[in-house]
Structure 1
């Protein structure tokens, strides 16, 4: 199955870049970490907060993805076109796939740099995608690496280019759901099945900020 064909058919208005929540009518933005802060006194990392964040993201993921669900694991890498050599796809996926033979199934496509900046034309987005099953992935490690974006001392990490940390999207082909963790602060979920999202929203109501509720409830048809 081709990722671009799937998105065009199922999520025609969605581009797999950060803020998918604002690209689709029915979605949820979850805030992570509760009332905890990333640092304790003397700038020491608050590992209790990160433990909570890891638990929350895994809980949400388990609600959305079953072991036999067909998925696309999509990775966006952002790089300077000439100053940085291309990183092999092995460095992006190698630690997170249970079957190393799946490395040969990864697809690659290059796109214009998607964010606004003065010299954006000098950069590009490299997108890697793998069609597999949820059970083929080391899910907990992937989720932790996504959450660890802004904290180099935390592991695992994805690696990447100097311009920015890779963005990872989980596309559930079986259930038509897209899940994205932007960092330790939050994650986004969009889906074609509004009923599925309503249940998720009600179950984890306390993980949503008040400022987001009006938009979420409007998109989910909740009065």
Structure 2
């Protein structure tokens, strides 16, 4: 199965780009970091805040995914059309336990999805890998997704413009998880009962929710 086949069957008309919560009728938007600012008064990084974020997203992930679930790890890479290729290995290779999975990564090119000047000069390459959580260094991926805009490790590499966006698509449970940066993450599902426990257990982290 390919990612677009799955999306067309289960999440019709949803684009795997930032703000999946706003595109779908059932989901939860979490606020991370307990409203602690990323920088201290002396302008140094507030590492306590990042540790809290790492813990929160790990908890959410582990509530949604089991090690044997079938998932797509989807990565959006943004580039100028004149750039010949994107170095996908910089995004996937550090986080795969078995390098043989690199040969199974698929890619499809789309128009640049954001409204900017001269957007027609850019494009999005979407990489997808069908795997299981046990195949990935999940903790490192979660941290890298949170570290956007800050000089922290781990981080995603291989990009020329815009930090990569990474989505975990659980095709066993029909749930999609997206961390947009250290400020928050989004979870959507076909049925709210599949994520209701998250809302009930971690209500204090919930920014907003929809259960249509």
Shorter-chain TM-score bucket reads over 0.9
Q: Does 1:32 align with 2:23?
A: no
**2:24 match: secondary structure:** coil
What residue in structure 1 maps to residue 143 of structure 2? 144
CA contact (8 A) 2:71 2:133 kept: yes
What residue in structure 2 maps to residue 166 of structure 1? 164
Could you say what the CA RMSD is over the residues aligned between the two structures, in angstroms? 1.0
Report how far residue 150 of structure 1 moved. Answer: 1.0
Distance 1:43 1:189 in 2: 32
Distance 1:105 1:161 in 2: 20
Kindly report structure 1 stretches of 4+ aligned residues shifted beyond 6 Å.
none
Q: For 1:111-160, what per-residue CA distance to the aligned partner results, in whole angstroms no more than 9, with x for missing partners?
A: 00011112011000011000001110100000000000010x20011113
**1:169 match: secondary structure:** strand
| TM-score, length of structure 1 as denominator length | 0.92
Structure 2: gaps spanning 5 or more residues: none
Counterpart mapping for 1:165-184 below 5 A:
165-184=163-182
Counterpart mapping for 1:23-172 below 5 A:
23-82=23-82, 84-151=83-150, 153-172=151-170
CA contact (8 A) 2:89 2:158 kept: no
Corresponding residue pairs, total: 212
If asked which structure has higher relative contact order (CA below 8 Å, sep 6+), I would say 2
Structure 1: gaps spanning 5 or more residues: none
Report how far residue 92 of structure 1 moved. Answer: 1.5
